[in-house]
Amino acid sequence: MKMKTILAAGAMSVAAIAANNAHAGAVLDGIKAKGFVQCGVNTGLPGFSAANAEGKWEGLDVDVCRAAAAALLGDAEKVQYTPMTAAQRFTALQSGEIDILSRNTTWTLTRDAKLGLTFGGVNYYDGQGFLVPKSLGVTHATELDGATVCVEPGTTTELNLADYFRAKGMSFEPVVIENINETTAAFFAGRCDVYTTDASGLASVRQTMAPNPDDYVILPEIISKEPLGPAVAQGDDQWADLVRWSLMAMIEAEELGVNSGNVDDMKKSENPGIQRLLGVSPGMGEALGVDEEWAYRIIKQVGNYGESYKANVTAKLGLERGLNALWTDGGLQYAIPVR
Amino acid sequence: MSKTQQAPGGVRSKGLADYLNDENVRAVIYQIIAIGLVILAGWYLVSNTLDNLERQNISTGYGFLNLEASFGISESMIDYTPRSSYATALMVGLLNTVKVAFLGIVLCTIIGTIFGVARLSSNWIVRKLATVYVETFRNIPVLLQLFFWYAIIPGAFPAARNALQPLPDVLLTNRGMYIPVPVADNAYDFMGIAAILAFVVIYFVKKWAAKRLDATGQPFPIFWASVGILVGFVLIAYIAGGAPTEMDIPELKGFNIRGGYNISPEFMSVLIGLTIYTSTYVAEVVRSGIQAVPNGQWEAADSLGLKRSVSLRKIILPQSMRVAIPPLTNQYLNLTKNSSLAVAVGYPDLVSVSNTTMNQTGQAIEAISIYMAVYLGLSLITSLFMNWFNKKMALVER
């Protein structure tokens, strides 16, 4: 990691020279010039971003990058992935090593205001929880006084953990390891009593990395709000808009009942909302600085939000929609109007 | 030097061309140009970085050091809670780095010397074993070795409930080793002061003994006398302080062991990994140092009837030191710098804490500048000390 950070810092200085005469739109121009989107993803969190058996990246977070590539470059496959640890991600984005960070990252005030990031919406509403071995005999987070807790460094999780134990007057001992695979290995080796991260991450780790998932239980307490979403570096509003609206298009498509299977037929729909989204009545693409088929390609190549959720989160982790259902179904996913 | 032609009627005055042809003048000009370029490049990088940070709305400066860190750190030599400031957190990291580097240097010197000497042993098995040890651990990247130890240590021992007890009140678990420690008492402070006093006294006794040896030729058992002085002083302080006996004994409470002193698996992995890796290089340094001492020194010692071990200790090793100290310094610096790999196995060293700080605050450049300055400082201190030591050890020509 040390090397990576230093390299990133070095890259920062080099990027500083390269970007000297930069104007707003440099990132977007850069992506067009190189012909692909450089996407920072988790080093391996099945359901959100993980390489499958063929080495192809897939997941809910990966789909955001694919959608942006489909909108801008016309092809959802024109994405290169850089796996990042929690500690590397912001420096990589600031330095221009990646164009978009889609790595279950919580949107917070300090990150938005101080780190030079712009968040492009929320693609997963989450909250922090605790995973413990059943043999520990613990049923509530309030019984965790004195526990040893495995946690990833540089995360909001790490801060919430300290806040929660402080608020409850309990003590804990953190074990902080850079790489998520090492962290979970330490947990399953018994180095820690508790593993903490966002509830979706816990489900993913329990389902896919535990020697026997049934030996572990996720405690009922959710101790924080974790709105996860894609982020881009501040300074290129046009690119930020494109990422934001790529995500919105996916959610809007689900609301309107447009999916990858029926999108061609839907072009003939009389619904003005669908006509605007699919570029039948023009204007939206022009406003974003891309062609009018941008949303059509996203839906055709990546699918709508519900499809992506089902294929990744439900299929791999068995997590129901919950907070991530559409607002019309009692959830929080609410597309800003595409008009 | 430029040649000046002797013109009739006097010395021709030097023109600009003559100055430019003057090697010394040119050297100065080159230096000025070089320095100018360095400054220019530095200014360019700094000002552009600042511009870019401002454009991206990333705040700069060291003000964040006073903010509340709000994250936990597992082991600390000073008081630290999530309520403490980032500055305190970084200090915790620095002290952890110094702790592991210092212990590592001491241990790798001892182990390295043993294996270095063993590689020259006349005993075939000892010699071969030492060779295997050195060649194995020298040729595996140190990061892999850290992962290796970190996989072994938590995996090899049972959970807290079934802790092994190799010695009374010493517990071995996958959470590390717990040892009983005395409960804090004034007497221990007195003992510390007494130990320092003892070293001062020993210093003077040593001087006196050397003088006496020069004057009368009578040797003085300085080693045992020193041990006696040290133990005596400390013991007197202990009794004078009221001879406290209360111990903090580790016990299973809830699902963790409370009390005692915990040596964490992270710390053990880093210490063992760094020590073993560096000790192989130290062994090679020691071996080459010994081999650099002319064989005549062995023969001379033999002819005096000295035992092999005495010749090694009194004649060969002191001379080999002169060869060994400069490369040894390098190994100490390497060990200190390699301790930054601790981040990979979760030991909260300076880099680990800085990385967390950097990510929570977004102050990448500041955090990196801090740890670069600290490693530079640590390296310079080590170098200065070793240079002083080297001078002291250097052959004094009479």
> Domain residue spans in chain B?
86-158+266-393
Secondary-structure percent of chain A, ordered helix, strand, coil, rounded to 5:
45, 20, 35
Residue B99 has pLDDT above 80, yes or no: yes
A297 or A20, which is more confident: A297
Q: What was the pLDDT predicted at A232?
A: 95
Instruction: Looking at the structure, tell me whether residues A131 and A203 fall in a common domain.
Output: yes
Is A14 part of a structural domain of the chain?
A: no
Among A8, A115, A163, the residue with its CB nearest the CB of B70 is A163
CATH topology of domain B86-158+266-393: MetI-like fold (1.10.3720)
Chain centroid, CA B145 distance in Å: 19
Q: Domain containing A195: what range?
A: 126-226
Q: Which residues pair with B247 in a beta bridge?
A: B182
Q: Tell me which chain A residue has its CA closest to the CA of residue B173.
A: A191
Residues A295 and A258 in one domain: yes
Please name the member of A90, A145, A158 whose beta carbon is closest to the beta carbon of B254: A145
Report pLDDT for B210: 85
B48 vs A145: CB contact, 8 Å cut-off? no
Structure tokens at A275: 């006509």
What pLDDT band is residue B174 in, cutting at 50, 70 and 90? confident
What is the Cα B335 distance to its own chain's centre?
6
| Residue B139 in contact with partner chain A when CB distance is under 8 A | no
Mean pLDDT in chain B?
A: 87
Pick the last residue of a domain from A185, A207, A226. Answer: A226
Range A314-330 average pLDDT: 91
Q: What is the pLDDT of residue B187?
A: 80
The reported pLDDT for the residue numbered A21 is 39
Residue A268 and residue A119 share a domain: yes
pLDDT, residue A14, reads 46
Q: How far apart are the first and last CA of chain A?
A: 44
CB contact under 8 A, A178 and B253: no
Q: Give the pLDDT mean for B97-118.
A: 95
Residues A236 and A109 in one domain: yes
pLDDT of residue A5: 53
- Give the mutation candidate from A191, A193, A196 for the B interface (greatest B CB count, under 10 A): A191
In a domain, residue A331? The reply is no
Per mean pLDDT, which range of A38-52, A120-134, B243-257, B328-342 is the poorest? B243-257
b (16+ CB within 10 A) / e for B311-330: bbeebbbebbbebbbeebbe
For the cut 60, the answer to whether the pLDDT of residue A23 exceeds it is no
Write down the ipTM of this complex. Answer: 0.73
pLDDT(B353) > 50: yes
Please tell me whether the overall predicted TM-score, pTM, comes out greater than 0.80 for this model. Answer: no
Tell which wins on pLDDT, B190 or A310: A310
Residue A15 lies in a domain: no
Residue B1 clears pLDDT 60, i.e. is over it: no
Please check whether residues A33 and A114 belong to one and the same domain: yes
Are A159 and B71 in contact (CB < 8 Å)? yes
Neighbours of A199 (CB within 10 A): 21
Q: How many Å apart are CA B232 and CA A274, to the nearest integer?
A: 92
Q: Which of A174, A198, A226 lies at the terminal end of a domain, its last residue?
A: A226
Mutate to test the interface with A, among B43, B44, B51, B52 (most CBs of A within 10 A): B52
CB contact under 8 A, A116 and B256: no
Residue B106 has pLDDT above 50, yes or no: yes
Number of structural domains found in chain A: 2
| Residue B106 CB coordination number (10 Å) | 11
- What is the spatial distance between Cα B378 and Cα B332, in angstroms, rounded to a whole number? 10
User: For the segment A204-237, what is each residue's pLDDT rounded down to a tens digit?
Assistant: 899 888 999 999 999 999 999 999 999 999 889 9
User: Is pLDDT larger for residue B96 or for residue B163?
Assistant: B96
Among A6-10, A116-120, B10-14, B338-342, whose mean pLDDT is lowest? A6-10
Same domain? For A74 and A196 the reply is: no
Q: Minimal Cα distance from A94: which residue of B? A: B56
Statement to judge: residues A240 and A269 lie in one domain: yes
The dihedral over CA atoms of B169, B173, B175, B178, expressed in degrees to the nearest 10, equals: 10
Selected for mutation to probe chain B from A2, A172, A236 (highest B CB count within 10 Å) is A2
- What pLDDT digit, counting tens, does each position of B191-243 carry? 888 889 999 998 998 888 888 888 887 777 888 888 998 899 888 888 888 77
Residue B220 has a pLDDT of: 79
User: Where is pLDDT greater, at B48 or B119?
Assistant: B119
Among residues A226, A257, A289, the one where a domain terminates is A226
Instruction: Specify the CATH number for the domain of residue A163.
Output: 3.40.190.10
pLDDT for res B13: 65
Least confident of A29-43, A285-299, B161-175, B347-361: B161-175
Please report which residue ranges of chain B form alpha helices under DSSP H. Answer: 16-21, 23-55, 86-118, 124-138, 142-156, 186-216, 222-240, 265-292, 295-303, 308-311, 317-338, 350-361, 364-393
Q: Based on the fold, state whether residues A119 and A140 are members of the same structural domain.
A: no
| A303 & A155 share domain | no
Residue window 183-242, chain B: list those with CB within 8 Å of chain A.
none
- The yes-or-no verdict on residue A22 having pLDDT over 50 is no
pLDDT at B14: 67
Inside any domain, residue A17: no
- What is the mean pLDDT of the segment spanning A53-72? 95
Q: Is the same domain home to A159 and A273?
A: no
Q: Do the domain assignments include residue A266?
A: yes
Distance of alpha carbon B340 from alpha carbon B120, whole angstroms: 33
pLDDT tens digit string along A247-269?
A: 999 999 999 999 999 999 999 99
Query: What pLDDT sits at residue B254?
Result: 72
Quote the pLDDT of residue B380: 93
Distance CA A45, CA A192 (A): 20
Mean pLDDT of B30-43: 92
